[in-house]
Amino acid sequence: MPAAVVALPLLVIILIQGFRLVTHAENLIQPGSENLWVGLGNFRRAFTDPTLLSSIRVTVIYTVAGVALEMIIGVGIALLLNGRIPGKGVLRALILIPMVLTPVVAGLMWRLLLDPTSGFINYLLGAVGLGSDHAFLADPHTALPAVILVEVWQNTPFVVIIVLAGLESLDPAPFEAAQLDGASGWRLIRHVTLPMLAPVLSIVVMLRVIDSVKTFAIINAMTQGGPGTSTLAISNYVYRVGFQTFDIGYSTTLGFLVSLAMLVLLFPTATRLMGLRIRKGRR
């Protein structure tokens, strides 16, 4: 309740101000534009905006590819760390290093590593005979995969931590019963571990999807949405419209549409997961 008392009034103020902005053609470099009523004009402009469609495509690719790789790699690492391996504590600590870096620092660091003239990645590729002049971030065909690589590198540790905590909290009785029935290795993981871990995996996927759709700092630090619009995600496009062209009314409309789309897509999943947790708690 104390949190709601603080948050709800701010939310109401933001919604009222946002409604005013999406229905006006306010531009900070055009005096008097804040009083220019356009009704649904900003929405009609958004639905016919080719750059918005391109940014949606980039965001979908970035989110689907990034989250899929993070889940596959993260679950695999968590399963390995959950077993008996030497130096497990040290490995857990080392895995956390990418996650503690801010996205801006991670983006700038990888931008230097991928530099076509002095980057270590090109030096390493040249040492193994694969060429040393690859302009990864300047090529539209490789810029987005390079940015996704950084996303996976930095956020996979989050998946590892949550999944590892879920693994350590599972009831050992089903595993013992399955082993008595002859299950082991991949069969044990597929038929016992993953089904029992499904609620945790669902929550991790939901959190990673939300965070990936909101991505801004990594892309802005590495490519600023370029070359062209090949890495221009929705958040970067909203920023470009609002703080480079100062078209506040239209940028607010874009942000509203993105938020609404995320709410429609993820709200049913979130409520279902919360419902499952509440029912389990009552039991």
Q: What is the pLDDT of residues 246-273, one digit of tens each?
A: 999 999 999 999 888 888 888 777 777 6
Report whether 67 contacts 210 (CB < 8 A).
no
Tell me which residue has tokens 């130096």: 87
Q: In terms of Cα–Cα distance, which of 215, 71, 46 is closest to 144?
A: 215
Q: What is the per-residue pLDDT for 189?
A: 83
Looking at residue 180, its pLDDT comes to 77
Residue 262 carries which side chain, given as an amino acid letter? M
How many other CB atoms are found less than 10 A from the CB of residue 71? 17
DSSP 140: H
What pLDDT is recorded for position 83? 74
Fill in the DSSP letter of residue 96: T
> Which stretches of the chain score pLDDT less than 50?
278-279, 281-282
User: Collapsing DSSP states into helix, strand and coil, what is residue 170?
Assistant: coil
